[in-house]
Amino acid sequence: MLNVQKILAEKPNRTLYKVRPDQMVIEALETMEKHKIGAVLVMRGEALLGIFTERDYARKGILGGRKAKSTPVTEVMTSDVYFVHPETNIEVCMQLFSEKRVRYLPVQEEGGKVIGLVSMTDVLNTLLQDQRSHIEFLKQYISGE
């Protein structure tokens, strides 16, 4: 069964990108641009406070008339964060993406420590790779190779 742990293991870059709550939006955007990512976690030490995404900036920042250089990330981040555990299966992730209308899910261990972030793209890539492997197996089985 495909789960979050498999997704994390197959990610080419497992770095956890985060910003502090006192940082300005511009710093979060610069981090996202530098690493070509669409979201960063907002954390105080090991505590997850929220997530900041491109969507947050567009809807709460720009449309809200806020300036990126003078707005703390806490003013525009999403603080109601849905998260998953390493054992969570992919179907649950897909259900959360759909029902909660989110694109990113932080991954927490049982003690609450954040160990990763999975995106909708990560889940889709894992599903596609699994299907390709299954198709290749069936081709070999049918052809007797």
- The domain total for the chain is 1
Matching residue, tokens 């690493």: 35
Whether the model pTM is above 0.75: yes
Q: pLDDT tens for residues 8-51?
A: 998 888 899 999 999 999 999 999 999 999 999 999 999 999 99
Which residues are 51's β-sheet partners? 41, 78
pLDDT of residue 41: 98
- What gap in Å lies between CA 112 and CA 8, rounded to an integer? 17
pLDDT of residue 105: 97
| Maximum distance among all Cα pairs of the chain, rounded to whole angstroms | 65
Asked if residue 132 has pLDDT above 90, the reply is: no
- What gap in Å lies between CA 92 and CA 127, rounded to an integer? 13
Instruction: Give the CA angle between residues 69, 73, 77 to the nearest 5°.
Output: 135
Asked if residue 1 has pLDDT above 80, the reply is: no
Q: pLDDT tens for residues 79-106?
A: 999 999 999 999 999 999 999 999 999 9
CATH number, domain at 71?
3.10.580.10
Mean pLDDT value across the chain: 93
Residue 27 φ/ψ, nearest 5 degrees: -65, -40
Predicted confidence band of residue 111 (pLDDT cuts 50, 70, 90): confident
pLDDT of residue 96: 97
Mean pLDDT over 125-131 rounds to 88
Single-letter amino acid code for the residue at 62: I
Predicted confidence band of residue 119 (pLDDT cuts 50, 70, 90): very high
Q: Would you give the DSSP letter of residue 89?
A: B
Asked if residue 137 has pLDDT above 90, the reply is: no
Structural domain range at position 15: 4-143
First to last CA, the chain: 26
Count of CB atoms situated within 10 Å of the CB of 99: 9
Asked if residue 109 has pLDDT above 80, the reply is: yes
Asked if residue 140 has pLDDT above 90, the reply is: no
